[in-house]
Amino acid sequence: MSRKVKVASYRAVPAITVAFLMLCLGAAQETMLADEYQAQAMGEGTQVGQSFNVTVHINEYSTPEERQALVDAFNKAGNQGLFNALSKMKSKGHIAITGTLGYDISYARQLPNPNGTTIRVLTNRPVRFGESWTDSRSSEYDLSGLELDLSSEKNKSTGVLLPACKFHIDKKTGELQIELTQNPWKLVDVMNRSAKKPE
């Protein structure tokens, strides 16, 4: 049986809970040179001791109109509406994970934070044939999320990866919740491999 972990009660990623579905309010962003980030994903809880490499390649960032389309889709049809809306968006880049083919990024946002820049990514998770064939409950967790907090200080950048998650509104509190099938993965040794922008 899948193990549920609500991000709202998980200390490492409290900011993601609301931020992912308000989906990163911010100023409009223009098409730009490709950004690339590399990091090491470290397991926590039941995944402690496990690790793998993650590369995030972003060709362009999402627009405020795309953000609003996702918010509207979620308000209308919940997690399924969000999944459907993401499916219709053109690829913004790619996430590569060691040992897998990775997957395209449907939504990417870049925002300033007090110490540098925050990158947030949301996309549909490819559901494996075995999950679909056996009607596994894990197939309900059909989204993936990632956040990078890029610090202007050397070796201070961190992040978190949510490989399989889904969103819902808590009926008692009315708050947005994220459910996971496993603990989040902590991203360390984050490196910015982006091409230098022209002056």
Q: Which of 58, 79, 73 is nearest to 167 (CA)?
A: 79
pLDDT for the residue 174: 65
pLDDT (tens, 9 = 90+) of the chain, 199 residues, equals 444 444 433 444 444 544 555 554 444 444 456 899 999 999 887 777 788 999 999 999 999 999 889 889 998 998 899 999 999 999 999 999 887 777 899 999 998 988 899 999 998 876 443 333 334 445 678 888 899 999 988 889 999 998 888 887 676 776 667 888 778 889 999 999 887 654 4
Q: What is the secondary structure of 46-77 as a DSSP string?
A: GGTT-EEEEEEEES-PPPHHHHHHHHHHHHHH
| Chain position carrying tokens 């202007």 | 152
pLDDT for the residue 20: 57
pTM: 0.75
